[in-house]
Amino acid sequence: MTSQAIAEQLASTPFMQALRRQKSDYTPVWLMRQAGRFMPEYRQVRAKTGFLELCHNPQLCAEVTVMAVDLLKVDAAIIFSDILLPLQSLGCGLEFVKGDGPVIHNPVRSVADVEKLPKINCSESLSYVLEAVKTARRELPENIPLIGFAGAPFTLASYLIEGGSSRNFEKTKRFMYTERRAWDMLMQHLSQIITDHLNNQIEAGAQAVQIFDSWVGSLGQSDYTEFVLPHVARTISGIRKDAPVIHFGTGTSSLLELMRQAGGDVIGVDWRIELASAWQKIGYDRAVQGNLDPVVLFADKNEIKRRAENILNQTGGRPGHVFNLGHGVLPETPYENVKYLVEIVHELGSK
């Protein structure tokens, strides 16, 4: 099959149709963190390989990406990677500490720290991610789209400033409020890196991209409007138009209209709001993705089915819904329940 024929076949898959609000035969489903510790096969890989080592190994990343599709029968693959990898090239001293998650040993805390951040060439510094995308695209079935991704400017800035995860984001907000010039410089710098990295992944073979704004739900509407929206809008406006953009955040029920304003063909919705209410807020001229609570997958199959059916019923039959969790699959999730969710969405979501 020619590359043009493959591209046309991928464009007509239920996942890509949903992203573009076109009618499809059934509701497509994929899962954030669909390759993870809940999966025995993934645990076998990780038993021999550290997380960052795995992320830097294109062949292994592609293998894990394809493995998740083969085992779960989802409708899209997402490249195995991490949103924080671009920060390594900024000299931040990124480390993943067992039990603590990511740690930034050289956080950004001043104007001088921002000014010292180097310009980076994403195609060179993140070449291993692009090679993983190319390899996964070759090894995936010709009817399975591949998603590339990156962290959003606010979330990456928060990691850089906090030095890791945070509950209240005191350091980030203080920096945002008191160092406005430095904040805008940092966000502009990160915005360009994110745009370049996503465009490079599209060039390497991704059919769609997702922006993860995992921490932006810590902000109120006025702060999002003033300090974040312009930078996200700049990021998304710079992304190639031939690949749909999924714009996702957690804790963002009060920010959905503003996220829509910032951009994205699809707005990802977490579980803290009913899907019908979220879609009404966002507007029906955008597709939506979501939004089962990941903890529902610890329940029995009857409850999983009931909750999945409830979400599917909230779409009002309109095209443009991609079924997903409201965030990633949790590590202790029963493997069989994850597989069952995909099966039941395909069964209930047939049109």
Helix (H/G/I), strand (E/B), else coil: 59: helix
Catalytic member of 20, 37, 240, 260: 37
Percent of the chain with pLDDT over 70: 99
pLDDT reported for residue 1? 66
Could you say which DSSP state residue 26 is in? B
CA distance 276 to 329: 23
Query: Which residues, at least 6 apart from 56, have a Cβ–Cβ distance to it below 8 Å?
Result: 128
Catalytic member of 42, 75, 137, 159: 159
> Nearest 5°: phi and psi at 303?
-70, -40
CA distance 138 to 129: 14
Catalytic member of 33, 234, 286, 307: 33
Quick: pLDDT tens for 8-34.
889 999 999 999 999 999 999 999 999
Confirm whether 167 is a catalytic residue: no
pLDDT reported for residue 98? 76
Confirm whether 37 is a catalytic residue: yes
Catalytic member of 75, 82, 213, 265: 82
Q: 189: which 2 tokens?
A: 């710098």
pLDDT reported for residue 173? 97
- Residue 64's alpha-carbon distances to 42, 51, 130, 165, 331, in angstroms, are 7, 12, 15, 26, 16
* Residue 274 banded pLDDT, cuts 50, 70, 90: very high
Confirm whether 46 is a catalytic residue: yes
Quick: pLDDT tens for 157-214.
999 999 988 889 999 999 999 999 999 999 999 999 999 999 999 999 999 999 999 9
All structural domains of the chain, each given as residue ranges with its CATH number in brackets, are 3-348 (3.20.20.210)
Confirm whether 159 is a catalytic residue: yes
Q: Where are the alpha helices (DSSP H) in 167-318?
A: 170-178, 180-204, 221-223, 229-237, 256-262, 275-282, 301-313
Report, as an integer, the average pLDDT of 223-229: 98
Quick: pLDDT tens for 74-87.
999 999 999 999 99
